[in-house]
Amino acid sequence: EPEVTQTPSHQVTQMGQEVILRCVPISNHLYFYWYRQILGQKVEFLVSFYNNEISEKSEIFDDQFSVERPDGSNFTLKIRSTKLEDSAMYFCASSGEDGYYGYTFGSGTRLTVV
Amino acid sequence: AQKVTQAQTEISVVEKEDVTLDCVYETRDTTYYLFWYKQPPSGELVFLIRRNSFDEQNEISGRYSWNFQKSTSSFNFTITASQVVDSAVYFCALSEARRGSTLGRLYFGRGTQLTVWP
What part of B 55-84 touches A (C-beta under 8 Å)?
none
β-sheet bridge partners, residue B21: B77
Instruction: State the Cα angle at A70 between A68 and A74, rounded to 5°.
Output: 85
Mean of pLDDT values over B25-47: 91
Q: How far apart are CA B5 and CA B109, in angstroms?
A: 5
DSSP SS3 for B50: strand
DSSP SS3 for B72: helix
Q: Is the pLDDT of residue B99 over 80?
A: no
Q: Which residues make Cβ contacts (< 8 Å) with residue A46, sequence separation at least 6?
A: A33, A34, A35, A36, A57, A58, A60, A61, A65, A77
% of chain A with per-residue pLDDT over 70: 95
B10-14/B59-61 β-pairing: unpaired
Mean of pLDDT values over A47-73: 91
Contact B111, A42 (CB under 8 A): yes
Nearest to A86 by CA among A17, A9, A5, A2: A17
- Give the tens place of pLDDT for each residue, B45-94: 998 988 888 888 888 889 999 999 999 999 999 999 999 999 999 999 99
- Model confidence at A30, pLDDT cuts 50, 70, 90, reads confident
Q: Is the pLDDT of residue B19 over 90?
A: yes
Residues of B in contact with A89 (CB under 8 A): 43
Q: Nearest-CA residue of chain A relative to B99?
A: A55
Residues of A in contact with B45 (CB under 8 A): 43, 91, 105, 108
The pLDDT of residue B68 is 94
The pLDDT of residue A86 is 97
Q: Is the pLDDT of residue A72 over 90?
A: no
Q: Is the peptide bond before A8 cis (omega within 30 degrees of 0)?
A: yes
* Residue among A42, A55, A98 minimizing CB distance to B109: A42
* Residue among B47, B104, B109 minimizing CB distance to A56: B104
Expressed in percent and rounded to 5, the helix, strand and coil fractions of chain A are 5, 50, 45
